[in-house]
Amino acid sequence: MRIVLICLLSISLFSTGCSWIKFPGVHKVDIQQGNIVDQEMIDKLRPGMTKSQVRFVLGTPLVVDTFNQSRWDYFYSRVKSNGEKSQEQVTIFFDADDKLERMTGDYLPSAAVPEAR
């Protein structure tokens, strides 16, 4: 009976994924999800660009609202192997003619960012 209990306890401990145990030499990979968007890509956008032009620069948006086709959301999250988490978000808005109107989020065009003095 005691051996069965020890086996069950061992199996339950090791079947949890061993996330609480740090094994030396075990490599953990970074987990990336979403669209990678950087400042250089945002600087290529200009008011009046079509949806296809924006898609060419930024890629296909992660979220397109079914009820509001004039808004595209780009999200990017990363969990590094050391557990450090980061998130970035950019929302693109189009006018009634499907032309780029404005954007909000973690990145803005360099011309719109005030310079430090």
For position 117, what pLDDT does the model report? 47
pTM of structure: 0.65
Distance CA 66, CA 86 (A): 27
**Is 3.30.1450 the CATH classification of the domain at 29-106?**
yes
pLDDT digits (tens, 9 = 90+) for 45-96: 999 999 999 999 999 988 888 888 899 999 888 888 788 898 889 999 999 9
Residue 56 has which token pair? 């060419």
Distance CA 89, CA 35 (A): 9
The yes-or-no verdict on residue 18 having pLDDT over 60 is no
